[in-house]
Structure 1
């Protein structure tokens, strides 16, 4: 059984490695320099933040930029990339590989930032998430397999802008019941469910449907087990985050209803 490796893909591997390196450098530049300048221009509140808050702010700016890029490209691959749609396990697409490479560069960059500023933004769950994802993406890029599947999983990044926006609003002291906070909170919950939770049943149904196929057998034991284990770990974390987000959203909506009820009672008494 022959698995396509780096030596079989001279031109492709150069593009992939170059993209990973370029992505890593770009996101480091964005974190250390561009975000400081841009954020100070667009938000007066940014300049009043303490150093620790500015570190997390810049980290979330980078996260938002990354998620928008790979989320949109992943959506294109998912809907329109003929090569990988025709063969989700072995289909080869330059765009699909480039998108995975962009994410790999971002994950390495973010791990560096987390380690450098561990006391400020250190989070063991993010380290687990990043390392698990990097391992899976390494196999995709090394062996040229599961490119469609990897890009399908990257659709989850489309929820990150709303998650980050919630943090920005809280940091800028927007009232919890402000329109911006409420709308973003509801949108965050809905989008998170659509791109991270709703795809779980069809994804594992698809995985199961491939198990007895020749294409699946050619993947080899390492990739077969890695495919299942990495996705399972990430989905357990997604479910945990979904529970926290849902509880927070329901709590806010409940408090809003309670506040409106109290207002009606007070208005009734005044009348």
Structure 2
């Protein structure tokens, strides 16, 4: 009997090492998520407030939305581009657990358009206006923190944050679409628009369309989740499935 137990010792030790390895891996993944969300929130607060300051007080940009003085806007856009590159690198390094094609498309579209702002200093008003959307990001990240801490969905803090997230997301990403596109259409055919050239025009319009389509998709997901939580109409199986779906698809880098 003693001999049989002694022969099992190596296998037990191997199992312990494998188990510890999995725990260490999960710990690293969770730490990466926490760092990602924390950095995202800090970025969103800085860029969002800076964006509002420019919209309210930068007369040069407001007077000439296509060719106005881009210095402050370029600084704000540079911060965002740095964050997007960092986020893409983190996604690439942890693709099996964090990868999502939606966010890759989002980041590439944003970087493509913002590249013209940084290199040519064009479209400062419109580039800065897009960054209003960052003001909804802290609520999205807070929702993830509640999920990771296993707060029940019926908890009043979770419900309050969910409602605030849905309202903020709608206001800064959906409700701003009509005035934004009215301003865009107003530039069509003007000398300032013609000076942009075809490359900048295509980058501007196509990237904005892609980003707005993604925002509408995300708004639908958020509104559906918010409705289920408020009304309590989802069963446990549906809730678990929704949690997994939103964990993978409702992220922090919605520009």
Question: TM-score normalized by structure 2?
Answer: 0.80
Decide whether the 8 Å contact of 2:109 with 2:207 is kept in 1.
yes
Report the alpha carbon displacement of residue 91 of structure 1 after superposing the two structures with TM.
Answer: 0.3
Unaligned runs of at least 5 residues, structure 2: 1-25, 234-255
Match of 2:185 among 179, 203, 208: 208
2:122 equivalent among 142, 145, 153: 145
Return the structure number with greater relative CO, CA threshold 8 A, min gap 6: 2
The aligned residue for residue 181 of structure 1 is 158
Structure with greater Cα Rg: 2
What is the rounded CA distance, in whole Å, between the counterparts of 2:189 and 2:102 in structure 1?
A: 34
Query: What is aligned with 1:83?
Result: 60
- Which residue, 127, 137, 149 being the options, matches 1:160? 137
Distance across 2 between alignment mates of 1:79 and 1:187: 24
After TM superposition, what 4+ stretches of structure 1 lie above 4 angstroms from structure 2?
A: none
Residue 51 of structure 1 corresponds to which residue in structure 2? 28
Secondary structure of 1:155's match?
A: helix
Query: Would you say the 8 A contact 1:140–1:146 is kept in 2?
Result: yes
Contact 1:56/1:120 (<8 A) preserved:
no
Shift of 1:57: 1.6
Task: Please state how far the C-alpha of 1:51 moved relative to its aligned partner.
Answer: 2.7
TM-score w.r.t. structure 1 length? 0.75
3-state SS in 2 of match to 1:88? coil
Q: Which residue does the alignment assign to 1:219?
A: 196
**Structure 1: gaps spanning 5 or more residues:** 1-48, 257-271
**Contact between 2:70 and 2:122, CA under 8 Å: does it hold in 1?**
no
Range 50-59 or range 212-221, more displaced: 50-59
Match of 2:227 in 1: 250
Matched residue count: 211
Say which is worse superposed, 146-155 or 51-60, in terms of deviation: 51-60
Give the Cα–Cα distance (whole angstroms) in 2 for the partners of residues 86 and 124 of structure 1. 38
Using the TM superposition, give the Cα deviation of residue 93 of structure 1 relative to its aligned residue in structure 2, in angstroms: 3.4
Q: Is the 8 A contact 2:66 2:193 kept in 1?
A: yes
